Structure 1
Amino acid sequence: MQFDDQVRRYFGADNLAAVSPEAIDAGIERMRVDLGLSADPTRRFALWSLLYMLGSAPALDVVFEDAGERDAARNFMDLIDRQGATDEAG
Structure 2
Amino acid sequence: MNLDDQIRRYFGTADLNVVPPAALAAGLEHMRVDLGLERDRSRCFALWTLMFMLGAAPDLDVAFADPADRDAARAFMEMTERAVSEDE
Scaled by the length of structure 2, the TM-score of the pair is 0.95
**Distance across 2 between alignment mates of 1:86 and 1:13:** 30
User: Partners of 1:24 and 1:10 in 2: how far apart?
Assistant: 8
Q: Kindly provide the amino acid, as one letter, of the partner of residue 52 in structure 2.
A: Y
In 2, Cα distance between equivalents of 1:24 and 1:84: 23
Equivalent residue number for residue 81 of structure 1: 81
**Counterpart residue type for residue 71 of structure 1:** D
Which position in structure 2 is the counterpart of 1:40? 40
Matched, 1:16 2:16: yes
- 1:85 aligns to what SS in structure 2? helix
- Tell me how far apart the structure 2 counterparts of residues 78 and 18 of structure 1 sit (CA, whole Å): 29
Q: 1:52 matched to which residue of 2?
A: 52
Query: Residues 51-70 of structure 1 correspond to what in structure 2 (within 5 A)?
Result: 51-70=51-70
- Consecutive unaligned residues of structure 1, counting only runs of 5 or more, are none
Corresponding residue number in structure 2 for 1:29: 29
Superposition pairs of residues 2-13 of structure 1, within 5 angstroms: 2-13=2-13
For 2:67, the aligned partner's letter is A
TM-score by length of 1: 0.93
> Segments of 4+ in structure 1 off by > 2 A?
none
User: Percent identity, aligned pairs only?
Assistant: 56
Structure 2: which 5+ runs fail to align?
none
Cα RMSD after superposing both structures: 0.8
Partners of 2:33 and 2:73 in 1: CA distance: 19
1:72 and 2:69 are equivalent in the alignment? no
Q: 1:86: how far off?
A: 2.2
